[in-house]
Structure 1
Amino acid sequence: MTAQSPAQTTAPVSRLKTGAEFLESLKDGRRIWIGNRKLDTVFDEPGLRKGAELMAETFDDQFKPEFADATTYTDPATGELSSRAWQVPRSPEELRDRRKIIEYSSLKTGGTFGRPSDLSPGIVAGLMAYLPTFQKKKSLIDGCNPDFAENIEAYMEFGRKTNLTASESLAGPQTDRSNPKAAEAAFLRVKKATKDGIYVSGAKTVGSIAAQANDIFFTNLGGLTTTPPEACIWGAVPIASDGITMISREMVSQPGASKFDHPVASMGEEADQFIVFDNVFVPKERIFNLGDPDGMSWYGPVCAFAHWHVLTRLTVKSELFVGAGHMVLDILGTGKIPAVQQMLGELVQYQQTLRAFVTAAEAKASYTEAGVLVPEVGMLTAGRLYSIQEYPRIIHILQELCGQGLVMRFGKDAFESPEIGHYLNDLLPGHGVSAMQKEHLMNFIWDMTSGALAGRVALFENVNSSPAPRLRARLYEEVDRAKFVDQVKTLAGMDW
């Protein structure tokens, strides 16, 4: 009898990055200004530093068993362990698996990072979904002739292999809307084309996490079929590229606060950046469209995964609203009041409806020309429209459930003060919880609904999802109504 050797198992090659490696990658000489102050590094501003450190935790979580399934997958083509952020779904199971990292990052940040590091890869996946279309396209700018399809595939592989964090900025600066020339003036434009790449100048805005990312993935917002050829660009460059300057909006988080006083705002933030491109070189290998107005009109289909991300994140946040609202009823002893039950019921209705939109978008997903499974865009658009219409009311309901608890808030120092703490502890207890425990919940809800960070997030949700009129216009364009017309004609006996 021949002895059998124990089976040899080899761990797959890992393409994951640690939190320390991510933070180290941000020390690259990037140019960031806040007010009149130029930062030496992103870590010199507490809000940016804390936000980067929170992002670093998401990298470390990849190595923890409890988060591994949500954050990582084994790439089927290479067998390498990779971040789910760079997974391109080609089956219903893979689509559901890809959603896990969206739900993970949304919960990790309390939904306050509208563009966490797993969002931008979704746009690259959207380009991959229409690879045959981009394969047929050619540069319409003389002097530079990139292979768009080859570049898209290479960038997806580059992102996966390096566990890349990329910011995306599609919107242009806010200018005089009555003058089309004023809006066009701020577009990113090709200033010079060479065989090795192009030089671009202009600006992008609402560059969320740009200061805390490795790359910037950019275009001029799609659907602009009248955009001049020199402004028709899709591309990506390192955020520390020569000629890129970031001007940060003011910080709205509370990075120096205790976790008790500001459970969410103390985690830092994704600080939106106004990004100036001053003769920035974009290598030929990092260009995905150049000079083709029709390529710009693919914004909607290409960004389907990003819009799925937005809707999923809002769904996760709605679940936090329901959980917090339920806890308020418990600690205030108001759960048996019919009117209060109905208010919580509205929060549940919002959450259930958003979850239904996500489920329906995935159930109605379809394969693209490249064999990529993409959520149904009509459901995504309708879900985002519902979410932003109801969001202000949902916030108001949660605030109303808390009553004076949000108006009269006290920090940990006050509770621990030997002179006044006993008053607060003795006179402000909740139902079955201490006064401090009740206050901790109120502080969480303040951060999610009422503080400066919450105000910025509420404004961002509306801008990020697109204003309601634009979403209604998209529904008009995206949803095929021919079947519904046929049903009316059949029922009514119309033969015309």
Structure 2
Amino acid sequence: MTVQDTSTTASKPAHRLKTGAEFKASLDDGRNIWIGKRKLDKVTDEPALGAGVDLLAEMFDDQFKPEFEDATTYIDPQSGEIVSRAWQVPTTIEELADRRKMIEYTSLKTAGTFGRPPDLSPAIVAGLMAYQDVFKQKKSMIDGCNPDFAENIEAYMDFGRNTNLTASESLAGPQTDRSNPKAAEMAFLRVTKAQADGIYVSGAKTVGSIAAQANDIFFTNLGGLTTTPPEACVWGAVPINADGITMISREMVSQPGANKFDHPVSSMGEEADQFIVFDNVFVPKERIFNLGDPDGMSWYGRATVFAHWHVLTRMAVKSELFVGAGQMVLDVLGTGKIPAVQQMLGELIQYAQTLRAFVIAAEAKATQLASGVVTPDVSMLTAGRLYSIEHYPRIIHILQEMCGQGLVMRFGKDAFENPEIGHYLNDLLPGHGVSAMQKELLMNFIWDMTSGSLAGRVALFENVNSSPAPRLRARLFDEVSREAFVDQVKTIAGMDW
């Protein structure tokens, strides 16, 4: 990617943006990807991955369109250049709200089905930037390699911003026998060798969403425990085509190549999760953000504050799509005056409004840290994510129930256009004020969002991505101070203990 030369154009500053074509070209780099028995020569050789790449490429092209430029780009105050808003580090509440525009954009672009779109991983880097002063005090605890963590974090942020980088992040280790501590420990990605210019790591990461469609992999071990072995205490980033990295794709669940009428959402492809094997992968010294320090790992929860804000915002956007679809069901079925159906839609609205309220509250209670970075309130994010996953299955069920037989009896465009049978469908299945085909397109959209294989994968991902409810409740116990509440009770009751 080259920087735009605007020396003869006074209207716009230079930019550091990729086009969709440049993004696609950046993925043709010899990366090692397997799907079943097939090794892909290019990521686009797999239809589901290729369709997802096309969708991501549209996001890059949208950066140059006036209607999307405010949501997707901003002017870097340091360089004066136009850069991707994905790499914006908020220093005011206003900038926090501006950064949210990008999350809302990517959420709508993917209908909320990409849990880790291109602006998710930069949010984790921004979280590390927020605690850069903490990492400045930390040193390597692995002999032979001594990176400057704080300097590396800032350099990687600059690198991502200047190259319009797409990165994946993978935190979870392989699922193993958890009754055996040794087996669980062996699942960690770990340092096998350290030298002055970098380290070698081996092991595996799982649920590497969007990894096959990204440029870099940003990795660590999901732990945060002081018992994590020093050799497994590592945060770093490498190109996804680095020597020693092998990606093994899970089964595809979207409908690439399907008619857009039949599958409005799943025809767009998917972010395919990857099982990522590291076999003595070299990580340069400049790409290491923690090495050997268990306490550094314990900062994971705080450093992912922007990622959790991203998750909650995306869920809020998706919940509003559910409300929109629900209202359209009432319109086309003519059920809007039935009190019971109104209450169903009311519950969808309650869910959407509550999630949006958590997002707004987290931003309103934002804190400016010593680094100057403004971060959303973590307890509001945790409570919002907990609410989102606890109610998500019911919201899906309500929307399905509102559709009735419409989701069971769906017909594709070919059936409607068949001269032998199409007239039956067109004559006998119209909606209130809309044609049968228009009504069917709505049902196909809701099927893709709630009932198909892609919807099933997304529902499972939401729960894993947000963390199970018990873990979130445990986080709330740690995050929310109760002393002031206790003092209020004592004051009202006249207690002196």
Fold conserved between structures, TM > 0.5? yes
Give the TM-score taking structure 1 as reference length: 0.98
Q: In 1, Cα distance between the equivalents of 2:163 and 2:11?
A: 21
Alignment of 1:51-130 (within 5 A): 51-130=52-131
Q: In 2, Cα distance between the equivalents of 1:59 and 1:463?
A: 28
The aligned residue for residue 169 of structure 2 is 168
CA deviation profile, 1:104-161 (whole Å, cap 9, x unmatched): 0000000000000000000000000001100000000000000000000000000000
Matched residue of 1:200: which SS? Answer: strand
Give the number of equivalent residue pairs. 490
The aligned residue for residue 3 of structure 2 is none
Q: In 2, Cα distance between the equivalents of 1:356 and 1:468?
A: 20
How far off its partner does 1:490 sit?
1.2
Q: Which amino acid aligns with 2:106?
A: S
Matched residue of 2:199: which SS? Answer: strand
Q: Which amino acid aligns with 2:332?
A: I
Matched residue of 2:238: which SS? Answer: strand
How far off its partner does 1:488 sit?
1.1
How far off its partner does 1:224 sit?
2.0
Alignment of 1:246-325 (within 5 A): 246-325=247-326
CA deviation profile, 1:38-87 (whole Å, cap 9, x unmatched): 11110110000000110000000000000000000001111110000000
Q: In 1, Cα distance between the equivalents of 2:206 and 2:226?
A: 21
How far off its partner does 1:225 sit?
1.5
The aligned residue for residue 340 of structure 1 is 341
Q: In 2, are the aligned partners of 1:222 and 1:300 still within 8 Å (CA)?
A: no
Matched residue of 1:258: which SS? Answer: coil
2:427 matches 1:417: no
How far off its partner does 1:17 sit?
0.6
Fraction of identical pairs, as percent: 83
2:170 matches 1:190: no
Q: In 2, are the aligned partners of 1:255 and 1:265 still within 8 Å (CA)?
A: yes
Q: In 1, Cα distance between the equivalents of 2:392 and 2:11?
A: 49
Q: Which amino acid aligns with 1:80?
A: E
The aligned residue for residue 384 of structure 2 is 383
CA deviation profile, 1:391-444 (whole Å, cap 9, x unmatched): 000000000000000000000000000100000000000000000000000000
Matched residue of 2:204: which SS? Answer: strand
CA deviation profile, 1:324-377 (whole Å, cap 9, x unmatched): 000000000000000000000000000000000000000000011201000000
Q: Which amino acid aligns with 2:102?
A: I
How far off its partner does 1:222 sit?
3.4
RMSD of equivalent CA atoms: 0.9
Q: In 1, Cα distance between the equivalents of 2:32 and 2:9?
A: 49
CA deviation profile, 1:444-478 (whole Å, cap 9, x unmatched): 00000000000000000000000000000000011
Q: In 2, Cα distance between the equivalents of 1:274 and 1:483?
A: 46
Q: Which amino acid aligns with 1:123?
A: I
The aligned residue for residue 29 of structure 2 is 28
Matched residue of 1:278: which SS? Answer: strand
Matched residue of 2:122: which SS? Answer: helix
Give the TM-score taking structure 2 as reference length: 0.98
Q: In 1, Cα distance between the equivalents of 2:181 and 2:371?
A: 36
Q: Which amino acid aligns with 1:170?
A: L
Q: In 1, Cα distance between the equivalents of 2:140 and 2:180?
A: 29
Q: In 2, Cα distance between the equivalents of 1:392 and 1:255?
A: 26
The aligned residue for residue 5 of structure 2 is none
Q: In 2, Cα distance between the equivalents of 1:78 and 1:484?
A: 47
How far off its partner does 1:10 sit?
5.9
The aligned residue for residue 210 of structure 1 is 211
How far off its partner does 1:9 sit?
3.0
Q: Which amino acid aligns with 1:380?
A: L
The aligned residue for residue 131 of structure 1 is 132
Q: Which runs of 5+ in 2 are unaligned?
A: 1-7
2:157 matches 1:156: yes
How far off its partner does 1:494 sit?
1.4
How far off its partner does 1:11 sit?
2.9
Q: In 1, Cα distance between the equivalents of 2:417 and 2:291?
A: 62
Q: Which amino acid aligns with 1:300?
A: G
Q: In 2, are the aligned partners of 1:414 and 1:421 still within 8 Å (CA)?
A: yes
The aligned residue for residue 350 of structure 1 is 351
Matched residue of 1:307: which SS? Answer: helix
Q: In 2, are the aligned partners of 1:222 and 1:298 still within 8 Å (CA)?
A: no
CA deviation profile, 1:224-249 (whole Å, cap 9, x unmatched): 22100000000000000000000000
The aligned residue for residue 486 of structure 1 is 487
